[in-house]
Every structure is written in C-alpha cells, then in structure tokens.
Amino acid sequence: MFKTLRPLILASESPRRKSLLLSAGVEFKVHPSRIDESVWPGELAEAGKSPAEMAERWACLKANSISPLHADSWIFGADTIVVLDGRIFGKPSDCAEAVRMLNALSGRVHEVITGMCLIQPGGKLRRRGSVTTQVRFKNLSMEEIDAYVRTAEPMDKAGGYGIQGIGALLVRSIEGSYTNVVGLPLCQALEWLMNENIIEQE
C-alpha cells in the first residue's frame, strides 16, 4: 500500500505499533528506547502540563534518545497513556495494580492519549502532537476483573487492558480513533510520514 522512500526508525518496542505500521506496508527498523517513563512526583501540577503534553514529551524523549545513533534516519517515537480524572495510568507493575486500574475504569469514560514525535536526520524536531480517544467501560464485577487479569493480557498495556484482545469485552463504546487505543493513531501517523515524503502510496 505504501512505499518507504527514506530510512525510518521506530523508537518503540511495542509489538502493536510495529504491527500497525507493517499492516500499511511501511518499512522501518526498530530501536527501542530505554528511558524512564514514570511520572515524576508532582510533575503535572508543578509544571502545569496536561496529560497530552506528557505523552508528547515521553514520545520525544524516546525519539531523541536514539537519534544520535542513527544520524541518517528519520526517528518516530510514540507513547500511549490512559487518563482518568487527570490521573495517568501506565502499565501495571503487578496483578494487584492491574486489578486496581480496571476497578477504577469500571463503568467510567476515560481517555487514551498517544503522543507522537518525528525527528529528521541530524536530530531536529520536525513534528510533535497527540491524538485522544474517549473509551467507555461497562460496569465490571470483581469476578470479571480477576478473570481478565489471570489471562496476563493487562500486564504490558497502559491502563491494564488491550482493546485488540480479550479486553474488547470490557469496552462498551469508543469515540475517536480505534488504532489509537491499540497504541498508534495510524491515520495521523501515515499522514505525517507522507507529508515529510518518508513514504508514498504505491
């Protein structure tokens, strides 16, 4: 579907982002970043940053961290977070935290935000932005939450669920990009790459 014209590096180890880009025919190499994605204590309140700005910042940190290693390539970074009442939910550290996250999301509408960053060869920031999707969970019983956590699916996903897997059973509705909830707003990502002549339609 797309032909890749310039060297492109994905600064993420997410198998879901990789799969989404490959599904469109984009050719790239993967070089995961190892930055600390934890929220610094009080960072949101002290700096006045919105969750979307935080997601964008983390995406740019990922891309910038590997850019010096690939001077001739474009670097694409992304970071997805789940936000409920201004609180950021990352990946659960253990099963107990996954249960707490899912219990908090039960019956509520939350936001899934993916920050994106594109750096051109030489290390200059070219594009930065984010996409937000509203997700409504059904009311979950503790039995449903415990059963889902036992599948181990929540453990490597922001917010403790994967909409592309068994976690779809928890979601009543969404408003916005579905692939954003998976981990990458594919439509906007492809538009960025086309606008910079990194890819073209075949």
Ordered structural domains, the chain, with CATH: 2-201 (3.90.950.10)
**pLDDT at residue 42 above 80?**
no
Contact between residue 60 and residue 125 where contact means Cβ atoms under 8 Å apart: yes
Q: pLDDT (tens digit, 9 = 90+) per residue, 79-137?
A: 999 999 988 888 899 999 999 999 999 999 999 999 999 999 999 999 999 999 999 99
* pTM for the full predicted model: 0.92
Active site residues: 79
Residues 6+ apart with CB under 8 A from 19: none
Give the pLDDT confidence score for residue 178 in this predicted structure.
98
Contact between residue 77 and residue 114 where contact means Cβ atoms under 8 Å apart: no
Q: How far is CA 150 from CA 15, 97, 107, 144, 179, in A?
A: 21, 13, 21, 10, 25
Contact between residue 112 and residue 132 where contact means Cβ atoms under 8 Å apart: yes
> Which helix (H) or strand (E) is 172 found in, with range?
strand 171-175
Determine the residue type at 154: P
> Which helix (H) or strand (E) is 148 found in, with range?
helix 142-150
Confidence of residue 49 (pLDDT cuts 50, 70, 90): confident
Higher pLDDT, 202 or 177: 177
Distance CA 80, CA 169 (A): 20
Give the pLDDT confidence score for residue 13 in this predicted structure.
87
